[in-house]
Structure 1
Amino acid sequence: MDEYSDLNFFAIVAKGHKQEFIDNLDWLTHIHDIAWCFKNTNDGYKLLWQCSQGMEKCAESAQAMLQFVKQRYIIDESLEHEIRQLIC
């Protein structure tokens, strides 16, 4: 990531749990504190993590998110590879 990049992602959750993840963003605070967010569609948010240490810290946060998700959910290896290409 560079100083102009952002990170777009979709959370793929178990059937019937979508609304839980949309209504409660606590799962995103495991990565970093949320500085600002607003619900921009029925399916998601615009969100900015509080990355006071700059973009390198934000990239670390994105990598931490991937690890957090991997510990709890099964991620297809090809998808993980694509995600790593975007955040590394």
Structure 2
Amino acid sequence: MCGIFAIYHPEGCAKFNVTCTEAPIFMAYASHPGNGNILAYERLAIMDLSCVQPLRGTTEEHQVIHNGEIYNWRFIREVRWLFSTTCDSEAILK
């Protein structure tokens, strides 16, 4: 089973007293440390068992939680960008 949960507010969720305990218990949790917004996920790993999400871009402002498969991720890797993980979802950040 997979699931994605996010809470976003321009002023950050801390202002509204939102915590990760309000997300389903089965989900892993990550919060953007700078603004208090919440990202949570549960992922059924098939391709890359070591892929940990959310994936972070070159700055903390860019984060991705992805549920799916990037079919041409090998091509994207070969053609252009350097990747820091083996996760196909990192192609979204490039």
Structures share a fold, TM > 0.5?
A: no
Q: Per residue, is there more helix in 1 or in 2?
A: 1
TM-score (norm. length: structure 1):
0.26
Larger Rg: 2
TM-score (norm. length: structure 2):
0.24
